[in-house]
Structure 1
Amino acid sequence: MSQSPSNPRVRVYVRQNCHLCEVALETIARLTTEAHTSYETVDIDADPALRAQWTDQVPVTFVDGVQHDFWRVDENRLRAALAAPGARS
């Protein structure tokens, strides 16, 4: 389930009927809950520019505004990024 916070730590670009997106979101939801932080999803098909930019790479994960992963979420890397010093809470 996606969240819609005003200032999410994690943003995930997704599209409908994307199996990799579903798998990534399960991991992201679990890890952001563990880290007591937030995430949001953005459907690239709702914006032609985003669809053109990311169509072959979804899901694309950003942490604190920096691209982190695409296609798959590396659980250990995401956990480390969410725990990194200086990360906003």
Structure 2
Amino acid sequence: MLSKLQIGDAIYIQTKAGWYTYIFRNYQYVQPNAVDVLLPVPAHPGTAAADRLITITTCNPPFHAAERLIAYGTFESWQPPTDIPTPIASIVTASS
């Protein structure tokens, strides 16, 4: 669950290009129509990004549309597809 993230937790994203690691930095609760959270610099239209961010959104509470829980992470690293990040290697290998 997104709400279980703690500041400093790693977020791993696997794509065809490789593994992206982001570090969780904060949450934000917003109304469902608050689309400015998806901007390159959330809630700051026209501002150039200084960091590479990931924005993850979900319903809050789960399966309801009352509000959205937004989680942000800052890019930390990239690894090729064959280099599974060490902290999750055993989990990824076991599920393959």
- Normalised to the residue count of structure 1, the TM-score between the two structures is 0.28
Pick 1 or 2: higher relative contact order, CA cutoff 8 A, min separation 6.
Answer: 1
Higher helix share: 1
TM-score (norm 2): 0.27
Specify the structure having the higher radius of gyration (Cα): 2
Structure with a larger share of its residues in strand? 2
